[in-house]
Amino acid sequence: MGAIVFNVTTAALMVMMVNCGLGVVGRDTLRGRPLPWAAVALTGLAVGGVLLQLVWSGAMDALDADPAKSGWWREFTSVFMQNGGLFGGLWNLLTLAAVAALAQWYWGGPLTLGFFLAGILLPGRIDSLLGLGDGPSTDPRNFAGSSGATYFLGATLALAFLTRTRLPKELALAAGVPALGLAMWLAQENGHGLVSVYGFALAAAAWAIRARLPRSGAARAV
């Protein structure tokens, strides 16, 4: 039963973040949006990682983020390995594609890649500072998978939506992302929730800086 609740809340959090992304970029504008090259690149790397696992039995051992193994590259390559089985792998690929596309259409490609990189590098280090983890990890308390960085990136869409709406229902949806994320961590030690809180906080800082910069026009849609 605990595993079912864990999976349901993890999926619900992602659905909330995707809906925030759709709200902030405009559901009716998707057909006219340009190709999200950053999302294509990130998803392509993740698909490539899965294909590599299929053809090379030693891929996980060589590229995961097991702290017992040496190799500076593991922190990055492990993001594009999947260890959640068929359903988990498909979920990770589909959510990465959707979240990265929505993020690029709002934040732009370079900032989307920056947030994704932050989702790889920051959570484990913040955990260490707070005494919550044992060091860098690409997926909270796991050694492989893109979901940690994806949930981190997805939470930036919730922050963006929070700053762009005044409707109570939409404000509740956006604010509900870090609230549910924190509750998931406290109740389940679900790291996806914790990295979502981190992503929301970093996006808040980025939004505050961006708001102080001279505007060159309407909101970006790159």
Q: For residue 9, what are the CA distances in angstroms to 4, 163, 188?
A: 9, 25, 10
Contact 10, 192 (CB under 8 A): yes
- Mean of the per-residue pLDDT values of the chain: 91
127-152: average pLDDT? 76
H or E element, residue 17: helix 2-25
Q: What is the pLDDT of residues 163-222, one digit of tens each?
A: 999 999 999 999 999 999 999 999 999 999 999 999 999 999 999 988 888 764 444 444
pTM value is: 0.92
- pLDDT in the model for residue 213: 81
Contact 131, 147 (CB under 8 A): no
What does the block give as tokens for 216? 């060159």
Q: What is the pLDDT of residues 10-36, one digit of tens each?
A: 999 999 999 999 999 999 999 999 999
- 76 against 3, higher pLDDT: 76
Q: What is the pLDDT of residues 47-75, one digit of tens each?
A: 999 999 999 999 999 999 988 899 999 99
Residue showing tokens 């370079």 = 110
CB atoms within 10 A of CB 24: 25
Q: Where are the beta strands (DSSP E) in the chain?
A: none
Residue 135: what are its φ and ψ, rounded to 5°?
135, -175
- pLDDT in the model for residue 222: 43
